[in-house]
């Protein structure tokens, strides 16, 4: 009743030819294991040494990340700095001299002037800082509008939210202290 009814196998079955094999025999298990093995490094002798090794490894990783950020390497950048629109904004700002980048130097000079007992210097200390701040604010608005327009032209399908403020804030930083480092010289055309 439950007997298997399969046809008998033919006397000489057709040969199956496999094309595109790996072209080499499968390695023996012991050979594959030898290749996988790596020398075991000695475990740290005590807790102090283990912490020292961890700190060294973390310091090396931080140095690598810092160098990548300075170069502008996309995978090492912070999320706020990533993307073609942000790169365009950085290049747009870095290609210009801005009042904001000299603001800290000017404020330092004003503080030094305030120490002088000359009445004209004290008068300058009263009126110059507000004028500088208004100039930096207006410059930030102009830079923001310019980069938004340029980003809409060159990268219409990219998200450009916040790029104006990003560019304005970068314009207020001292050029040597900007991170990522400027990739274009002053007066050079920004890269696409």
DSSP string, 134-191: HHHHHHHHHHHHHHHHHHHHH-TTS--TTHHHHHHHHHTS-GGG-SSPP-S-TTSPPP
| 144: nearest Cα among 95, 92, 180 | 92
13: in domain: no
101 against 35, higher pLDDT: 101
| pLDDT computed for residue 87 by the predictor | 93
| 146: nearest Cα among 84, 190, 116 | 190
| pLDDT computed for residue 84 by the predictor | 94
pLDDT in tens, 122-164: 888 999 999 999 999 999 999 999 999 999 999 999 989 999 9
36: in domain: no
182 in the same domain as 109: yes
Task: Tell me the whole-structure pTM to 2 decimals.
Answer: 0.69
4: in domain: no
> What's the CA gap between 154 and 192, in Å, rounded?
8
146 in the same domain as 60: no
135 in the same domain as 83: yes
Range of the domain at 64: 46-76
Q: Which of 76, 95, 126 is the last residue of a domain?
A: 76
**The total number of structural domains that make up the chain:** 2
Tokens representing 18 are 């496999």
Q: Which of 76, 91, 115 is the last residue of a domain?
A: 76
């Amino acid at each position: 009743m439950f007997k298997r009814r399969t046809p008998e196998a033919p006397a000489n079955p057709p040969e199956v030819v496999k094309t595109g094999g790996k072209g080499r025999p499968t390695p023996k298990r012991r050979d594959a294991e030898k290749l996988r093995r790596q020398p075991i490094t000695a475990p740290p002798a005590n807790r102090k040494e283990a912490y020292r090794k961890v700190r060294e490894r973390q310091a090396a990783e931080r140095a690598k990340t810092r160098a990548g950020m300075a170069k502008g390497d996309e995978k090492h950048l912070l999320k706020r700095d990533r993307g073609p629109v942000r790169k365009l904004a950085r290049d747009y700002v870095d290609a210009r001299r801005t009042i904001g980048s000299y603001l800290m130097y000017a404020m330092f000079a004003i503080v030094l002037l305030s120490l002088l007992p000359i009445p004209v210097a004290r008068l300058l200390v009263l009126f110059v800082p507000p004028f500088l701040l208004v100039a930096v604010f207006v410059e930030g608005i102009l830079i923001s509008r310019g980069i938004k327009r340029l980003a809409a032209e060159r990268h219409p399908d990219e998200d450009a939210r916040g790029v104006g403020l990003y560019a304005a804030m970068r314009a207020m930083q001292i050029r040597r202290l900007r991170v990522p480092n400027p990739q274009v010289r002053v007066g050079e055309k920004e890269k696409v």
